[in-house]
Amino acid sequence: MFDLVIKNANLPDGRHGIDIAVNDGRIVEVDPTSPPFGDETIDATGCLVSPPFVDPHFHMDATLSLGLPRLNESGTLLEGIALWGELKPHLTVEAIKQRAHALTKWSIAKGVLAIRSHVDVCDDRLLAVEALLEIRQEIAPWIDLQLVAFPQDGYLRSPTAAANLKRALDMGVDVVGGIPHFERTMADGAASVTALCEIAARRGLLVDMHCDETDDSMSRHIETLIYETQRLGLQGRVAGSHLTSMHSMDNYYVSKLLPLMAEADVTAIPNPLINATIQGRHDTYPKRRGLTRVKEMTEQGINVALGHDCVMDPWYSLGSHDMLEVAHMAVHTGHMTGVGQMQAMFKAVTENSAKVMHLDGYGLEPGCNADMVILQARDPIDAIRLKPARLFVIRRGKVISRTAPVAALLDLNDEHHTVTFQN
């Protein structure tokens, strides 16, 4: 007898008709030989059962602030940063927490049970750090929240950023961030990468920098980030977020760069919804798509984890924190429409993102945390196509969110109307 049994599930790796048994918050058996029974039993026939969605790049201190104090008229990154600067003096701990709690309810309903959020450390009051540290503790029963100390106005460019970043890490922020392309010069950008990686190495922390979030093909801070990863022995502990300049880089240079990135085990965290809307704003026609080289990095064996980045804030006015929208946009702007490529984009919002966050107990194997999402879809490609109802969201063996199936999709999911892909 088990606490929970999920019957007849489709798994992301293509296995069908699998039973999953749960005890004491952990998966204890997958596909047991004898028929299992549980205190609670969920029939998942025809449905995809996945480990939860993971968002490896978000800004919880800015979320749901859309329109405060005004809208971003140009749609550019730089106006977004300026707008956030106008809002910062008016922030309060209470307001940040209220918006963060509202967002995380959406996250849970969409099956997002782990989030890495950057938190701006360039406000000397560190109100956002204080608020999100409290949020991290308050939402821990439902969501694993990891915080990145993010010097939004530049680690070297902002006079108090270095001291504030140190204070934030001392307060308990988990990861070292940066924004080298926003420093005053390329040399300062490189120097900031070196200084921040050294801090992470000294403190035994992970690194995740906004890196080369620009259309400027000469923005090559990823090169320094890879170099410092190797020099300081940080392999597997460093991520470069955005990397959009790579879209415009010389192909020969990229052919040298990507093997070095694979060798250093640096993760790429593109943010397709934001990259597609913010990049290319200075172009006439043809307009660049902005997304970094997801296909080429995936083929090189580089870990690619996709982030949502923003929901209704100075940089992006849309979103409901659905990681399937993120994967959907990556499929389109990355030309990733092959069967294996679409499956790779589902992994990029699940297991690849769990890997960059170093989440313990993530997955669908015996011994893993019993954290799962049951979707009204047959397989990962169907999930990206339909962005369907999250019928059950399960955390440590307990159902924490339910959504009714969409009746109109029931026929569509019938064998006769759906192409079945061989894995």
Counted residue by residue, the chain has a size of 423
55 versus 309: smaller Cβ distance to Fe ion: 309
- Note whether 372 and 398 are within 8 A (CB): no
Interstrand relation of 112-120 and 48-50 (parallel, antiparallel or unpaired): unpaired
State in angstroms the smallest separation of the CB of 118 from Fe ion: 6
- Note whether 350 and 364 are within 8 A (CB): no
Which residue number places its CB atom closest to Fe ion?
Answer: 309
Catalytic residue numbers?
213
**Of 129-137, 301-309, 342-350, 391-399: span binding Fe ion (CB under 5 A):** 301-309
Residues in contact with Fe ion, counted by CB under 5 A, come to a total of: 1
309 versus 371: smaller Cβ distance to Fe ion: 309
Angle at Cα 406 formed by Cα 401 and Cα 407, nearest 5°? 140
State in angstroms the smallest separation of the CB of 104 from Fe ion: 18
Alpha helices for 21-113 (secondary structure H) = 77-87, 93-109
- Note whether 178 and 210 are within 8 A (CB): yes
State in angstroms the smallest separation of the CB of 57 from Fe ion: 6
State in angstroms the smallest separation of the CB of 150 from Fe ion: 8
Nearest-angstrom CA–CA distance, 91 and 95: 7
3 versus 309: smaller Cβ distance to Fe ion: 309
- Note whether 147 and 174 are within 8 A (CB): yes
Angle at Cα 176 formed by Cα 170 and Cα 179, nearest 5°? 130
Burial class (CB in 10 A: 0-12, 13-18, 19+), 379: buried
**Of 199-207, 226-234, 243-251, 302-310: span binding Fe ion (CB under 5 A):** 302-310
7 versus 57: smaller Cβ distance to Fe ion: 57
Is the omega angle on the peptide bond into residue 36 within 30 degrees of 0, that is, cis?
A: no
State in angstroms the smallest separation of the CB of 77 from Fe ion: 9
State in angstroms the smallest separation of the CB of 325 from Fe ion: 16
- Amino acid 226 reads I
**Of 68-76, 178-186, 305-313, 342-350: span binding Fe ion (CB under 5 A):** 305-313
Residue whose C-alpha is closest to residue 289's, from 342, 331, 228? 331
**Of 131-139, 279-287, 304-312, 344-352: span binding Fe ion (CB under 5 A):** 304-312
61 versus 309: smaller Cβ distance to Fe ion: 309
Contacts of 204 (CB under 8 A, 6+ apart): none
9 versus 207: smaller Cβ distance to Fe ion: 207
**How far apart are the two ends of the chain, measured CA to CA in Å?**
33
150 versus 362: smaller Cβ distance to Fe ion: 150
**Of 91-99, 303-311, 320-328, 357-365: span binding Fe ion (CB under 5 A):** 303-311
Burial class (CB in 10 A: 0-12, 13-18, 19+), 60: buried
Chain-centre distance for alpha carbon 104: 14
**Of 128-136, 229-237, 308-316, 330-338: span binding Fe ion (CB under 5 A):** 308-316
State in angstroms the smallest separation of the CB of 111 from Fe ion: 22
Going residue by residue from 228 to 257, which x/- string records binding to Fe ion, judged by CB under 5 A?
------------------------------
Residue 309 touching Fe ion (CB under 5 A): yes
- Note whether 54 and 112 are within 8 A (CB): yes
State in angstroms the smallest separation of the CB of 318 from Fe ion: 15
Residue 371 touching Fe ion (CB under 5 A): no
Chain-centre distance for alpha carbon 375: 19
Going residue by residue from 76 to 95, which x/- string records binding to Fe ion, judged by CB under 5 A?
--------------------
Nearest-angstrom CA–CA distance, 349 and 54: 6
Nearest-angstrom CA–CA distance, 421 and 16: 12
Evaluate the CA torsion angle 409, 415, 421, 423 in order and state its sign. Answer: positive
309 versus 325: smaller Cβ distance to Fe ion: 309
Residues that bind Fe ion (CB under 5 A): 309
